[in-house]
Amino acid sequence: MPGHYFDDSPTADERRREVRVRAWDRDLTFSTAAGVFSADHLDHATRVLLEHGEPPTGSPTLLDLGCGWGPIACLLATAAPDATVWAVDVNERARELTALNADRLGVTVHVAAPDDVPPEVRFDAIWSNPPIRIGKAALHELLLTWLPRLTPDGEARLVAGKNLGADSLQRWLGEQGWPTERVASSQGFRVLRSARP
């Protein structure tokens, strides 16, 4: 069994490959491998999230939650060189690839397992194509762990497929005290913005 992209330690042969990504007027090349999410290309949901989000400016502290091989984290760090960018994933291979890609692109990204992010770190923005397929209970636990780490004026930008429960996720977030609006809908995906009341 090759396992899932949300396994801690993938057992599939790596089979490294190169993926080109164009976003925010930049063309970047990434290394990917089997055993991580969307190893063959930038997945459609992440592309929609990037297309409907403004590149950051200044020096915010940003989180790519569920970073995979690092396209969001590396693009954030490329767009805002003075930002502090964290990339978090349970998948060890994904973290290795994100660190490799950040290094080859010449940007600084703090790559960490979830439990290795210092508890005092707070984020001005969280960007995520969250791992919907881990199941509703685990997804809810994940979001309720990280959303409270937003700064008072911070926001989370999430993308989810309509057919995978994006609308019910939006409602649920609101019920948990995180007012959430749909800021874009494209190709069957919803981009959601969640912030403190």
| pLDDT digit string, tens, across residues 168-184 | 999 999 999 999 999 99
Q: How far is CA 146 from the centre of its chain?
A: 12
Q: Is residue 12 part of a domain?
A: no
Give the mean model confidence (pLDDT) for residues 63-81.
Answer: 98
What is the residue range of 150's domain?
17-195
pLDDT digits (tens, 9 = 90+) for 128-147: 999 998 999 999 999 999 99
Q: Is residue 9 part of a domain?
A: no
Q: Residue 107 above 70 pLDDT?
A: yes
Q: Residue 125 above 70 pLDDT?
A: yes
Q: Is residue 11 part of a domain?
A: no
| Residue pair 11/17 in contact by the 8 Å Cβ criterion | no
Nearest to 72 by CA among 60, 88, 59: 88
CATH number at 91 reads: 3.40.50.150
Q: Is residue 140 part of a domain?
A: yes
Secondary structure, 3-state, 38-103: CCCCCCHHHHHHHHCCCCCCCCCEEEEECCCCCHHHHHHHHHCCCCEEEEECCCHHHHHHHHHHHH
Q: Is residue 7 part of a domain?
A: no
pLDDT grade for 14, boundaries at 50, 70 and 90: confident
CA 22 → CA 19, 47, 54, 145, 188, distances in Å? 10, 9, 14, 31, 21
Q: Is residue 2 part of a domain?
A: no
Q: Is this model's pTM higher than 0.95 or not?
A: no
Q: Is residue 6 part of a domain?
A: no
Give the number of domains in the chain: 1
Q: Is residue 4 part of a domain?
A: no
* % of the chain exceeding 90 in pLDDT: 89
Average pLDDT, the chain: 93
